[in-house]
Amino acid sequence: MALQAAALLPSAFSIHKEGKSSASLKESSLFGVSLSDHSKADFISSALKTKREFTSRKLSAIRGQAMATAPTFTPATVQGKKTLRKGNVIVTGASSGLGLATAKALAETGKWHIIMACRDFLKTEKAAKSVGMAKENYTIMHLDLASLESVRQFVDNFKRSGRPLDVLVCNAAVYQPTAREPSFTAEGFELSVGTNHLGHFLLSRLMLDEMKQSDYPSKRLIIVGSITGNTNTLAGNVPPKANLGDMRGLQGGLNGLNTSSMIDGGEFDGAKAYKDSKVCNMLTMQEFHRRYHEDTGITFASLYPGCIATTGLFREHIPLFRLLFPPFQKFITKGFVSEEEAGKRLAQVVSDPSLTKSGVYWSWNKDSASFVNQLSQEASDVDKARKVWEVSGKLVGLS
Ligand code: LMG
Ligand code: NDP
Ligand code: PMR
């Protein structure tokens, strides 16, 4: 079995290709979102205030969301003689973990307006405040990826806001390692693949036209992948392993009734469903690249930011796992990264001028230098990518 050096011995790996850390960031804790720090009154007044501040280029109503916007075209950077406006980036799942750390890192550069696309407005508002994001740097918009209706509504709402879309980051995910029975999305798809893959698949397909229309110089569509979906690594060989098989379950709609809830048609396994969903994420990124990069100039990329063993991703794991997993990753595998460091990495993929290569999967070595990593055979299989694209398109009602 071919195992990747990067996974086995991160400290011995030293490809310094394009690794420049992005804008310098202040040390600041990402933890400890305290309810008492953010009173309800505070929240309501800020929501009302930001609503007053909102000036849409189109005057159509924005249904059911609070917006905390800056004027869209704030000059932020001077490139040559041209003044570059602030970039607009949507980050799904920005209410915690990697998404929040990325939003914070981007906000601190002053060059980005972050649309935090989240299912829990209050949690997101508290999270943004807790990491010190300035109001003018973000907008919270409702998105529940476990409902295709919500995805479509989000896209409509975003279009109505009149903001151009420059970068889309598909980051949100759920992981159900201890579930014995599958749960399902609003449309009846198994929850992990339905949320992590199908919700994002519809979102990015629908947002592509928005991105095409943007005049931003470096447009990017980023889908977060993971090492555990790649069986060419040690981590990807910890059972249960990702495997899409012939995708008979996906073709049947993952409903657990007349078809399996698993992509490969097997018995439900929450950890495998998550890893399969990450394989779909990485395949989708490459299929986007093949179909659209040349015509649109958009950069399509995926990444493994490192093992961020402290995030909410493990909230459903047993307490003993949550206790031991961070030290295990820190001291034994040495694959651990803090939320802050992981956020800087994803922020680089969003905005670093040197990370414009399309169709690639980024990883970082022990010096936090980025390099183009190799995907497993399945996660780079061209036929599987096409099949995932076609079957998923039908499931979400696109083709
Ligand atoms: C399943 O269990 C769960 O059932 C499932 O619910 C889901 O969670 C899933 O992948 C997620 O995992 C997987 C099971 C497989 O793992 C465990 O049960 C072990 C959990 C360990 C978690 C970390 C805690 C470790 C605690 C160690 C103590 C640390 C203390 C820290 C203090 C530090 C102080 C300095 O596990 C297994 O099946 C067993 C192991 C399998 C390994 C698979 C690897 C195969 C790779 C292929 C061979 C490669 C050979 C190379 C050898 C390289 C040697 C380095
Ligand atoms: P978190 O649980 O901290 O963050 C996940 C985010 O996804 C949360 O904001 C959560 O919202 C959101 N989310 C979940 N379900 C939905 C939904 N139905 N609709 C909208 N948003 C939803 O985990 P991480 O930060 O660790 O995960 C972020 C990404 O990083 C994922 O794609 C994960 O696969 C990837 N990753 C993580 C690694 C790690 O070691 N942690 C390693 C490799 C990749 P809410 O706050 O409301 O729950
Ligand atoms: Mg893993 C270099 C070795 C390495 C790395 C980088 C990870 C990352 N893991 C490694 C090794 C091992 N893990 C080994 C040897 C074991 C057996 C003891 C092991 C176990 C393990 C479990 C039980 N690891 C896990 C779990 C989880 O539940 C996590 C998971 O699979 O979530 C899907 C997980 C992870 N290990 C990682 C990373 C990044 C994860 C979690 C998140 C993800 O892929 O998104």
Give 269-314 pLDDT, tens digit per residue: 999 999 999 999 999 999 999 999 999 999 999 999 999 999 999 9
Q: How confident is the model at residue 399 (pLDDT cuts 50, 70, 90)?
A: confident
Lowest-confidence region among 49-58, 80-89, 272-281, 374-383:
49-58
Nearest Cα residue to 110 out of 24, 35, 34 = 24
For residue 99, pLDDT over 80 is answered with: yes
The CA 74 to ligand 3 mean position distance, Å, reads: 42
Q: Which residue has the higher pLDDT, 99 or 73?
A: 99
**Separation of 342 CA from ligand 3 center, angstroms?**
16
Q: For ligand 3, is residue 227 a contact (CB within 6 Å)?
A: yes
CA–CA gap between residue 160 and residue 139 (Å, rounded) = 14
Note the pLDDT of residue 77. Answer: 46
- Inter-helix orientation angle 200-213/270-296, to 10°: 20
Q: pTM higher than 0.90, yes or no? A: no
- Please report where in the chains the tokens 């206790």 appear, as a residue: 323
Q: What is the ipTM of this complex?
A: 0.87
Q: Is the CB of 238 under 6 A from ligand 3?
A: yes
> Could you tell me what percent of the chain has a pLDDT over 70?
79
CA of 75 to the centre of ligand 3 (A): 43
Ligand 1: distance of its center to the CA of 182 in Å? 23
Cβ neighbours for 204, distance < 8 A, ≥ 6 positions apart: 168, 170, 221, 223, 284, 288
Residue with the smallest CA separation from ligand 2 atom 35 is 224
Is residue 41 scored above 50 in pLDDT? no
- Mean pLDDT for 106-123 is 98
* Whether the predicted pLDDT of 86 surpasses 80: yes
Per-residue pLDDT tens over the stretch 315-340: 999 999 999 999 999 999 999 999 99
Asked if the model's pLDDT at residue 20 lies above 80, the reply is no
Residue 182 to residue 89: CA distance in whole angstroms: 33
Predicted confidence (pLDDT) per residue in 170-229, tens digit: 999 999 999 999 999 999 999 999 999 999 999 999 999 999 999 999 999 999 999 999
The alpha carbon of 334 and the centre of ligand 1 are apart by a number of angstroms equal to 14
Q: What is the pLDDT of residue 84?
A: 80
Closest residue to atom 36 of ligand 3, CA basis = 235
Q: Decide if pLDDT at 59 tops 70.
A: no
Distance, CA of 364 to CA of 73 (rounded, Å): 33
Tell me, in angstroms, the distance from the centre of ligand 2 to residue 92's CA.
Answer: 9
Neighbouring residues of 309: CB distance < 8 A, sequence distance ≥ 6:
325, 326, 328, 329, 330, 336
Number of H helices, E strands in the chain: 12, 10
Whether the predicted pLDDT of 129 surpasses 90: yes
pLDDT for 39 equals: 34
Atom of ligand 1 nearest to the CA of 228: 10
239 Cβ contact list (under 8 Å, min separation 6)? none
Confidence grade of residue 143 (pLDDT, cut at 50, 70, 90):
very high
Proximal ligand: closest to the CA of 240: 1
What's the chain's average pLDDT?
Answer: 84
Please tell me the least confidently modeled range out of 5-14, 109-118, 279-288, 379-388. 5-14
Smallest CA separation from ligand 3 atom 22, residue? 238
Read off the pLDDT band of 62 (50, 70, 90): very low
Pocket of ligand 1 (CB under 6 A): 177-178, 234, 237-239, 271, 321, 324-325, 327-328, 331
7 against 357, higher pLDDT:
357
The whole-number average pLDDT for the span 360-380 is 96
Atom of ligand 3 nearest to the CA of 175: 33
Answer yes or no: is pLDDT of 249 > 90. yes
Q: Quick one: pLDDT at residue 74?
A: 42
- Ligand 3: atom nearest CA of 307 is 39
Residue whose entry in the numeric block shows the structure tokens 């179909």: 291
| Strand stretches in the chain, DSSP E | 75-79, 82-85, 87-92, 112-118, 138-142, 167-170, 220-224, 299-303, 360-364, 370-373
The percent of residues above 90 in pLDDT, for the chain, comes to 78
